[in-house]
Amino acid sequence: MALKANGLTKKSNQAKPILGYSDAETVKLDVDDVSFKSAKYWANRAMKWFRLRGFIIIKSSDDCYHVVFNREVSWSENMRIVAWVALLSGLEKLKKWFLMQCIKQSSTLRISPKKDKPSPRIVYRYGKQDEQIRIFLSYREKIKIIQKLSVCKGRFDNDTDIG
């Protein structure tokens, strides 16, 4: 079963959590400092080689992308796939991200805004999206609703003209 929520906070009087999606059975990639074309190339290559059935690409910031694949896998197969892409692509930041996921024993991608970066947005879809992608998108939608409610609550809490 997925852990699904990680809250990281920066040190301040008003902590703003950074929410992410975390699990062991969804193959995910966090590719930084690459073009969209390169992110798409490696996503497509991994999908075909490991029969992952489909993927979505999410832009997290300039030249930074997340990839979520559709087929459910075991943790060992998940890490084998990520290691394969990290080694063949030569992307140093992906290698470091891979090692951190191994240490945590689950992989995580950011969903919420972070500092000056907005929430990651979907920029490309390919193939089937009825398994792990559907679960990821459902969780992502719930986080967006919670964020909207939080903003509304904050506005209500600051309203002194009640009653």
Torsion of CA 31, 56, 59, 1, to 10 degrees: -70
Lowest mean pLDDT among 2-11, 95-104, 114-123, 148-157: 2-11
For the domain covering 17-157, report its CATH number: 3.90.920
Cβ atoms of 86 and 98 closer than 8 Å:
yes
pLDDT, tens digit, 9 for 90 and up, residues 72-85: 999 999 999 999 99
The residue type of 63 is: D
Mean pLDDT of 14-29: 89
Cβ atoms of 29 and 91 closer than 8 Å:
no
Domain ranges of the chain: 17-157
pLDDT, tens digit, 9 for 90 and up, residues 36-55: 999 999 999 999 999 999 99
pLDDT, tens digit, 9 for 90 and up, residues 53-64: 999 999 999 999
pLDDT, tens digit, 9 for 90 and up, residues 85-108: 999 999 999 999 999 999 999 999
Question: What b/e string do you get for 74-103 counting C-beta neighbours within 10 Å, with b at 16 or more?
Answer: eeeebbebbebbbeebebeebeebbeebee
Cα–Cα distance measured from residue 57 to residue 29, given in angstroms and rounded to the nearest whole number: 9
Q: Does residue 145 register a pLDDT over 50?
A: yes
Percent of the chain with pLDDT over 70: 83
